[in-house]
Amino acid sequence: MTQESSRESHLRSVLKAITWRFLATSTTFIIALLVIGELPAAATIAGFEVVAKMIIYYLHERAWQLVPRGTLRKLLRR
C-alpha cells in the first residue's frame, strides 16, 4: 500500500464528518433540552453547533492527512 493510497479521500472525510456530527449534535440537543427545558433554545444551540463543529472536524481531519504516517511514533521514540 502506497502512502498516497493510505490517505483518506476528501469525500470519505466529509461523510465521516456528517455522520459524526449527526450523533454529536443529537447529544448536544438532548443535553441542551434537559438543561434549558425549551425546545426552540435547544434547537438553536444544536443548529449553531452542527455547522461550527462540522467545519472544525473536516479541517482537523485534513490537517492530520498532512502528517506523514509514522511521524508521531518517531517523535515519541526520541
**What does each of the 78 residues of the chain score in pLDDT, given as a tens digit?**
455 567 889 899 889 878 988 899 999 999 999 999 999 999 999 999 988 888 898 899 899 999 888 887 888 887
**What pLDDT, on a 0 to 100 scale, did the predictor assign at position 39?**
98
**What pLDDT, on a 0 to 100 scale, did the predictor assign at position 23?**
93
The answer to whether the predicted template modeling score (pTM) of the entire model surpasses 0.85 is: no
Q: Is 1 a member of any domain?
A: no
Q: Is 3 a member of any domain?
A: no
**What pLDDT, on a 0 to 100 scale, did the predictor assign at position 57?**
81
**Angle at the Cα of 69 from the Cα atoms of 61 and 53, rounded to 5 degrees:** 10
Residue-wise over 10-27: b if at least 16 C-beta within 10 A, else e? eeebeeebeeebeebbee
Q: Is 67 a member of any domain?
A: yes
Taken in order 38, 44, 49, 54, the sign of the CA dihedral is positive
Q: Is 63 a member of any domain?
A: yes
**What pLDDT, on a 0 to 100 scale, did the predictor assign at position 59?**
94
How far apart, in whole angstroms, are the C-alpha atoms of residue 22 and residue 64? 22
**Number of domains observed in the structure of the chain:** 1
Q: Is 2 a member of any domain?
A: no
Supply the range of the domain harboring residue 38. Answer: 8-77
Q: Is 38 a member of any domain?
A: yes
Q: Is 30 a member of any domain?
A: yes
